[in-house]
């Protein structure tokens, strides 16, 4: 029988997701478990798979729409079913049999004359599944008809000062989608760049602002991922009391080990892969650092799972390497490369971005010698790794030129005190400066 495909809860902390694209064209045959659409959550792009065999009969959301989890996005017909089955299902959803034609709003009741003033009765406004209360008030531009629009389109309209009811929709059934609002905003700016946006009477009555000389600028709307990074890290600095420890590691032996491994293996490997391995070994050596803070307890983990900060083409992500202390350096290198490739194409899976107690972030490839990083909550810490620097170092009673790397450890002071963090950092430096110990 016909069934509705709803926006799934692809992330535990996301109430909505942006539909990026349909993987199957309308009318296409689909099989259970087959990808049917791609959505963007706050952390990654995720494939939505069909949970039944059938035909993608009609889509109820357009690419670019921000859809609340649980809302319908498509209708799937079973084999042999016709349009009547789809129309009946749409009618049961309150979208009408045609779904492409917005239903007309109920006419307002005629006032009944009365000899004495009566208390105003509460109005009974029609409920529109994907429209806000403001949009169901039958404004002038859409008088007598419901206004259908996507949540993302409404948000852009509000932020731009454009009245949603003044926009003609080009989506299914005249539904207003993001591109319609962006086109209306561009048109309004082209016609009257200095005027007050429509739909804001209060601003229209205000005196015109004095022009401020400017060299011009371009606004790039926040992506879901950018907003997520901002919200998470703001919360981290607010809620987790950070403290920082810095040390300098001698890495001549580490560089020699890397060269030796590269000479004997076809696998590519970076110095950061060796640092990841050293982080895993240090967390195993000092297990009190392999923890998270929770409201009721300090949670200690059995597995050593380490996140790796990846600056992908789509934004910052931190996929998790599981059981780092038990992986070989070449296995770590291969997995990190896979993470980077899939992060750039938006194909990381949600479970790969969750968990872990610790993160490593390396900006050494950009020549950054030292920096402090913000903890990725609810993890306990993050290690900021700088560039390899050749500088004078003491070797016994002599001064020689050596290769060094400065690292800064950011720690959540709630589950970890300074002495414990210092013990961990000392263990990490010991592994780095005696790198053959990380291979055992």
> What CATH number is attached to the domain comprising 144?
4.10.320.10
pLDDT at 334 over 90: yes
| 413 included as an active-site residue | yes
**Same domain membership, residue 418 and residue 338:** yes
Query: What is residue 42's predicted lDDT score, i.e. its pLDDT?
Result: 64
The verdict on 185 and 51 lying in the same domain is no
Please report whether residue 192 resides in a domain: yes
CA distance 352 to 289: 21
Residue 376's nearest CA partner among 239, 281, 272 is 239
pLDDT digits (tens, 9 = 90+) for 242-297: 999 999 999 999 999 999 999 988 888 999 999 999 999 999 999 999 999 999 99
Q: Can you tell me the mean pLDDT for 178-187?
A: 81
Instruction: Specify the CATH number for the domain of residue 34.
Output: 2.40.50.100
Q: What is the DSSP letter of 302?
A: S
**Nearest residue to 64 via CA among 40, 35, 42:** 40
Q: pLDDT at position 10, please? A: 63
User: Is 97 within the bounds of a domain?
Assistant: no
**pLDDT, tens digit, for every residue of 190-205?**
665 444 444 444 444 4
Which residue in the block uniquely carries the two structure tokens 């000092």? Answer: 286
What is the DSSP code (8-state) at residue 132? -
Q: 307 with 175, same domain?
A: no
**Other beta carbons within 10 Å of 19:** 24
204-247, pLDDT tens digit by residue? 445 555 666 667 889 888 877 788 888 889 999 999 999 999 99
What total of structural domains would you count in the chain? Answer: 3
pLDDT digits over 311-323, tens only? Answer: 888 788 999 999 9
Q: What's the pLDDT at 20?
A: 83
**250 and 349 part of one domain:** yes
- Are residue 176 and residue 230 in the same domain, yes or no? no
Are 30 and 151 contained in the same domain? no
Is there a contact between 17 and 67 (Cβ–Cβ < 8 Å)? yes
Which one of 142, 222, 242, 413 is the catalytic residue? 413
User: Which bin fits 77, alpha (ψ -120 to 50), beta or left (φ > 0)?
Assistant: beta
Q: What is the residue range of 72's domain? A: 3-92
């Amino acid at each position: 029988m016909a069934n509705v495909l709803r926006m799934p809860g692809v992330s535990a902390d996301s109430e909505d997701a942006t539909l990026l694209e349909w993987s199957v064209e309308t009318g296409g045959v689909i099989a259970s478990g087959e990808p049917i659409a791609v959505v963007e959550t706050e952390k990654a792009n995720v494939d939505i798979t069909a949970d039944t065999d059938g035909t993608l009969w009609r889509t109820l959301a357009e690419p670019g729409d921000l859809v609340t989890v649980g809302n319908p996005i498509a209708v799937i017909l079973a084999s042999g079913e016709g349009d009547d089955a789809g129309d009946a299902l749409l009618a049961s959803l309150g979208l009408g049999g045609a779904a492409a034609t917005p239903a007309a709003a109920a006419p307002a009741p005629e006032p009944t004359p009365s000899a004495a003033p009566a208390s105003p009765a509460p109005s009974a406004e029609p409920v529109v599944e994907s429209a806000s209360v403001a949009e169901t008030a039958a404004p002038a531009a859409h008088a007598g008809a419901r206004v259908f629009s996507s949540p993302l389109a409404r948000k852009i309209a509000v932020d731009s000062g454009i009245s949603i009811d003044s926009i003609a929709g080009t989506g299914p059934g005249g539904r207003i989608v993001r591109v319609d609002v962006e086109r209306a905003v561009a048109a309004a700016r082209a016609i009257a760049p200095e005027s007050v946006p429509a739909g804001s009477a209060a601003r229209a009555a205000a005196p015109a602002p004095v022009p401020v000389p400017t060299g011009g600028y371009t606004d790039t709307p926040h992506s879901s991922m950018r907003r997520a990074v901002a919200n998470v890290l703001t919360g981290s600095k607010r809620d987790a009391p950070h403290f920082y420890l810095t040390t300098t590691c001698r890495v001549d032996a580490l560089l020699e080990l890397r060269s030796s491994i590269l000479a004997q293996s076809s696998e590519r490997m970076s110095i950061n892969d060796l640092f990841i391995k050293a982080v895993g070994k240090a967390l195993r050596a000092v297990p009190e650092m392999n923890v998270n803070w929770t409201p009721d307890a300090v949670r200690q983990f059995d597995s050593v799972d380490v996140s790796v900060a990846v600056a992908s083409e789509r934004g910052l992500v931190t996929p998790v390497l599981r059981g780092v202390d038990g992986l070989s350096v070449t296995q770590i290198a291969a997995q990190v490369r896979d993470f980077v490739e899939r992060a750039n194409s938006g194909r990381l899976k949600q479970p790969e971005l969750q968990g872990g107690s610790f993160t490593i972030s390396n900006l050494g490839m950009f020549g950054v010698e030292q920096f402090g990083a913000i903890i990725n909550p609810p993890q306990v810490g993050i290690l900021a790794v700088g560039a390899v620097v050749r500088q004078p170092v003491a070797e016994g009673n002599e001064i020689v030129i050596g290769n060094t790397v400065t690292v800064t450890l950011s720690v959540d002071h709630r589950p970890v005190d300074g002495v414990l963090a210092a013990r961990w950092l000392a263990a990490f430096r010991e592994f780095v400066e005696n790198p053959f110990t990380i291979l055992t």
